[in-house]
Amino acid sequence: MGEKNFSFQIGDFKCMAVCDGNYTYTKPAPLLFPTAPGEELDQKLREFDVDPDRWLEWKSPYTCLFVDTGENKILVDTGGGKENQSSRDKGQLTDNLKARGISPEEIDFVILTHGHPDHICGNTDENGKIAFPRAQYVIWKEEWEFWNSDRAEKELPETFKEGLIRCARQKLPPIEKQLNLIEREEEIVEGVRPILAWGHTPGHMVVSFGSKGEQLLAVSDLFVHPIHVEKPKWYTAVNYNPEQNVASRILEKAEQENALLIGFHFPFPGLGRVKREEGKWKWEPGER
């Protein structure tokens, strides 16, 4: 994938989808859609130009979001990081920001949607130093407490547990002195509001950006694949509470407010809108 940055506007907010790189997942169907009925899943995959019999790998972008509100420069998630990675095609966030003339020191806020490795491993650089040294890091309070207590060991399923906890314990503590824990859906700065959408993790959140009547929703892992938009009861295998993840969908809000969505794992730049046709949800990729 050659695209690294994509600029767009939300009202007066200057926005940019920034690619941190890609990661290739093997056996994607049981990872992304473990509960989906087989024939129905095959049909839906074909609608997205995927041959279910040959779908052995899924190359997922890691797309972070940069927003300049005019008053603050904000980054949503920090990507997979450069060190200790099995894939060298990740950890490109800071380089791709610099390519657009944005230095790490300019970032005022880093909003972490949740504590999974692909969203927080860029908190520090290869030398263990904070990647965005002037930024205030923002995370939901329960998310922080979950990963920094024995709850993670007790409550996570065994699958993926070790890697998830190891990364969280390595990448969250260094930002503690620059940390702002939130527990209400109140504006972080003007026009920027968290929306609790827990289920994927205990404190997973969507981030809303609103300006001049336009809205952008950074949905993070609420939807991991565009098919999850159209089939919101199909959830991934990496979910803390699958039932709540389904309940916390914000499709109604997105449609009613004609919000633009950006998905972390969607095909770059991850932008699109949702609408309902004959009672079924439809994902429409594109900026407008």
Length of the chain, in residues: 288
Question: Which residue, among 242, 268, 234, 232, has the nearest Cα to 63 in the 3D structure?
Answer: 268
pLDDT more than 70, % of the chain: 97
Fold of 5-285: Metallo-beta-lactamase; Chain A (3.60.15)
d(CA 62, CA 1): 11
pLDDT tens-digit map of 16-63: 999 999 999 999 999 999 999 999 999 999 999 999 999 999 999 999
Structural domain boundaries of the chain? 5-285
**Mean pLDDT computed over 113-126:** 96
Would you state the structure tokens that stand for residue 157, as one six-digit string? 């399923």
Question: Which residue, among 178, 167, 171, 169, has the nearest Cα to 110 in the 3D structure?
Answer: 178
Q: Is 253 left (phi over 0), alpha (psi -120 to 50) or beta?
A: alpha
pLDDT tens-digit map of 149-187: 999 999 998 888 999 999 999 999 999 999 999 999 999
